[in-house]
Amino acid sequence: MIIVKPTDDPLSIDYQAGAMIMIDKPIGWTSFDVVNKIRYRLKNHLQVKKIKVGHAGTLDPLATGLLILCTGKATKQIETFQNQVKKYSGCIKLGATTPSYDAEFEEENIKDTAHLSQSQVLDACYSFKGEIDQLPPNFSALKINGKASYKWARKGIVKELKSRKITFYDIQIPKIELPYAYFCVECSKGTYIRSFAHDVGQKLDVGAYLTELRRLSIGEYTIENAWNLDKWVDVFESKQE
């Protein structure tokens, strides 16, 4: 498998034989949007009707950061990347909730946070370190009766989700400026950072939701070595001109 680095010429890669592309996903894009964009360019470049392209771990539309894509025969290795430790940075807003646990919807259940001390916020965040049972958000891609949970939720139908064991290997809170708490975490496959934000708010009895999220690394692969999506696309478009 070839790793396509930003210093490489992406036009010279054998994508059918198998390649891994690290993309810095922009805000507002779904992970599937990025896959479609890459696949479309590769099909035109290679003059083929089909090419396998998949991603190794979904990022929500409002999140940014490292998205690993595999092409051709390398798609068989997607699960290997999915199982690796992920590192994220971001921000939690205390004192309100949203249905999606992030900034997609308007705030609800607004509460005062002035009574909270920094030590209370730190203790609440750190209490989730280690292996825990985490309940995924209703606005998630988990399938219920063959349909993604978020599709039910958007219709106002709340389906019961089961908690699952995940692990926070490290939790750091570098800055607290109430009502905001900034974090950096390392966690296992299947972890929902939106649920972490929500659970911190529940622990403090003021509610909370995720306002920012950026994936910094997947295993040994870091955002510093990722392609800007526009730059990657520009290389292929300039070749067609």
Q: Could you give the residue numbers annotated as active site?
A: 60
The span from the CA of 237 to the CA of 231, in Å, is 10
Q: Are 136 and 172 in contact (CB under 8 A)?
A: no
Angle between helices 31-46 and 229-240 (to 10 degrees): 20
Residue keyed to tokens 């946070």: 113
The three-point CA angle 171-99-94 to 5° equals 45
Nearest to 86 by CA among 199, 204, 203, 223: 223
Judging by beta carbons within 10 Å of its beta carbon (0-12, 13-18, 19+), is residue 131 exposed, middle or buried?
exposed
- The Cα 223–Cα 64 span in angstroms is 10
**Closest alpha carbon to 185 in 91, 52, 79:** 91
Place of tokens 């280690």: 130
Asked whether 50 and 102 are in contact (CB, 8 A), the reply is no
